[in-house]
Chains A and B, each alone.
Chain A
Amino acid sequence: MATKTYIQAIAEATIEEMERDKSVFTMGEDLRHSVYGATAGLVERFGEDRVLDTPLSENGFFGAALGASLCGMRPIVETVTSFLWVGMDQLISQAAKMRYMFGGQAELPVTFRVRMFYARGASAHHSDRNYPVFMNTPGLKIICPSNAYDAKGLMKTAVRDNDVCLLFEDGIAISSRTEVPDNADLPNGELLVPFGVANIVQPGSDVTIVGIAGGVQHAIDAAKVLEAEGVSAEIIDPRTLVPLDTETILKSVAKTGRLVVVDPAHKMCSAGSEIAAIVAQEGFWDLQAPIQVVASEQINVPYSPALEPLIYPTPEKVVSAIRTVLG
């Protein structure tokens, strides 16, 4: 089995879905020159009509993707977390609401591939980890792959899904390599990862660590540190936040009695705080210690390399949180 980078996995998924279904096309800024790395060679392979370089008009082309999807197309839109703000009217007032508001008439099979850059000195305007904002808006499916395998499998599921999917590509995981099977080695000839099914990254018995996107690697690194001390951590990657596999998380907490959530988003109203709230409400009697949420500080992202790393979750912070819940 070959190892592939997260970015290669996204590229493969795009090519496979465009080969499979002629209604799939890509649109976004600088796709033809693959500025963000996942669209290299697409225009040569599929032509300019199916690889649309757009003007810098996020609100306009997000909406155009939605309109095209209402008429039988399946657009894949590439953008960046911070540019989602520019197109918020289309994302919130249209993408999320059209289907329900029109009594189920609308089908909006659009996948937004959203690159999530952070922890790289890009300052406040290019370091957003804003998926929780969209969790608070009913009608959007929120996908946060943490590795190449899931990135490919979830991306392919998203393209085939008939609702609007926001797939957040974690910038700190984007070059990481994971084993991704070749299609020929798969029973169905292709890799599809279903929504709403968490991945138990490793089983354990003393503490549950739920990692979101890049937070999963921090959980793995922290678990390794504590393994030497005899701590058995169960690591869960929800993979999709909407829908969220609460059952797997609650089952794990029922077994371990302790929960740490690692979320690169800002802490207030984060995915981490939502998971903590669900477990507090539905799994309270299983808990042996207060839940710990390791998320980004509730301040804006500073530029200086002396400051920026301080705000994000790190394996060290996760280790410290685990020690807290273990008492």
Chain B
Amino acid sequence: MALDKQQLVEMYRRMCRIRYFEEAVIEIHSSGELIGPAHPYIGEEAVAVGACAALRDTDRIAGNHRSHGHPIAKGGDVNRAMAEILGKSDGYCKGKGGSMHLADFSIGILGESGIVASSVPIATGAALAAKLSKQDFVSLVFFGDGASNQGACHESMNMASLWDLPVIFMCENNGYAITTSYKNSVSVDHVSDRASAYGMPGVLIDGQDAIAVWEATNEAVRRARAGEGPTLIEAMTYRFEDHSLGLDKIRKSEYRTQEEVDEAMTRDPLPIHRSAMINQGFVTATECDEIEATVHTEIEGAVEFARNSPYPQPEDLYEDMWATPV
């Protein structure tokens, strides 16, 4: 099975959507409109998009603090995502979640978590629900190399393998947990090496290549739907920006060299995918330019939508606490 033109183009569109969305967030942050932290996903777009391209709307995903890209890749609405980041009432969470807590349950986005690795058990539980209720959806959780050291990760992988749950553990190894290199925090060469300890396949892939991510995820999804259990995928990627907007102290630190960053940025996932599509004859450069222009306009619209959306009202403060009112 291979991706067709329509799928490849849609993947490129979503990668551009994430990139331009994040560029807009950075710009808005520098203008002072965005008050909280925000963690740019720039450089890692191929992982979210490649993974979500292998999923259905009914499949569930969960993410982490660096999760603007995941919901956009799953088909989320950039208007509502941007409004949420600005704390507006039209945001996905009516302004109550913000940058680290985007969620759209209607298309399987179970929400992002500010606590590293905290979504991993949640996604495992979603897969448990699929198994117990005999439904054929799968669950996929994005987490980083830093999260891979949390107990929640190990506990979840053990349970998922023990119970053959339809879950895909997608480790985005971007090299650093804030400033701590994964080489200084992971005891084995690769996070995926740990899979064998849980009795599941561990797959190491190039996370800058969306097609490679799709291929690995597609196989993991096939296994999951067939009742063969979980897969751990480690996508090697790189965070082009610093850890978080507004943390100038970290920006100035020397946890990684400029040479390393420059080298990593030569493997930008957007041009890699664009060239692949052009080289394989699926699209022309002009068509790609058109996609980029359309998405630029779309993101400008999202920023305008978010800016025009009203803030929540004081009376909204007490809403949304309980599903069964007290």
Contact = CB atoms under 8 A, between A and B. Distances in A.
Contacts of B162: 55
B324 A163 contact: yes
Interface in B234-258: none
Given A59-B121, A59-B151, A73-B133, A99 B323 contact: yes
Interface stretch (B153-161, B188-196, B290-298): B153-161
A196 to B, nearest CB: 6
Interface string B102-118: 01110000110111001
A159 to B, nearest CB: 12
Interface string A180-209: 000000000000000110000000000000
Nearest to A195: B326
A67 B123 contact: yes
Contact of A90 (B121, B128, B132, B322): B121
A99 B122 contact: no
B111 A101 contact: yes
Contact of B94 (A66, A67, A68, A103): A103
Contacts of B131: 49
A163 B121 CA distance: 18
B125 interface: yes
A202 to B, nearest CB: 26
Nearest to A104: B320
B207 interface: no
Contacts of B81: none
Interface residues of B, number: 50
A99 B326 CA distance: 15
A50 B137 CA distance: 19
A64 B120 CA distance: 9
Contact of A100 (B128, B139, B156, B321): B321
Given A67-B122, A72-B133, A162 B323 contact: yes
A298 interface: no
Interface in A99-155: 99-109, 138-139, 141
Contacts of A141: 326
Contacts, number: 162
B111 A102 contact: yes
Given A102-B103, A103-B96, A60 B132 contact: no
Interface in B120-166: 120-133, 137, 139, 151-152, 155-156, 158-159, 162-163
Contacts of B156: 60, 63-64
B43 interface: no
A67 to B, nearest CB: 2
A63 B121 contact: yes
A99 B97 contact: no
A25 interface: yes
User: Looking at B60, B105, B114, B326, which has the most chain A CB atoms within 10 Å of its CB?
Assistant: B326
B60 A71 contact: yes
A72 B129 contact: yes
A69 interface: yes
Nearest to A90: B121
Contact of A55 (B130, B155, B322): B155
Interface in A35-77: 49-50, 52, 54-55, 57, 59-73
Contact of B324 (A67, A100, A138, A161): A161
B17 interface: no
Contacts of A139: 321
A287 interface: no
Interface string B158-182: 1100110000000000000000000
Interface string A22-42: 010100000000000000000
A178 interface: no
A163 B323 CA distance: 6
B91 interface: yes
Contacts of A59: 121, 151-152, 155
Contacts of A66: 121-122, 125
A94 interface: yes
B97 to A, nearest CB: 5
A309 to B, nearest CB: 36
A66 B321 CA distance: 16
Given A63-B125, A90-B118, A105 B323 contact: no
Nearest to B312: A103
User: Looking at A52, A63, A90, which has the most chain B CB atoms within 10 Å of its CB?
Assistant: A63
Given A101-B97, A101-B101, A68 B126 contact: yes
Contact of B111 (A23, A60, A90, A98): A98
Given A25-B132, A103-B97, A106-B103, 17 more contacts: A52-B163, A57-B159, A63-B122, A64-B121, A64-B156, A64-B159, A68-B126, A68-B129, A70-B129, A99-B320, A99-B322, A100-B96, A100-B320, A106-B111, A161-B323, A163-B324, A196-B326
29 contacts: A23-B133, A25-B132, A55-B158, A57-B158, A59-B151, A60-B124, A60-B151, A60-B158, A61-B121, A61-B155, A63-B152, A63-B156, A67-B126, A68-B128, A69-B129, A70-B125, A94-B118, A94-B122, A98-B111, A100-B96, A101-B97, A101-B111, A102-B105, A103-B95, A103-B320, A106-B323, A108-B323, A138-B321, A161-B324
**3 tightest A-B CB contacts, nearest first:** A67-B125, A63-B121, A60-B155
Interface of B: 60, 62, 91-97, 101, 103-105, 110-111, 113-115, 118, 120-133, 137, 139, 151-152, 155-156, 158-159, 162-163, 319-324, 326
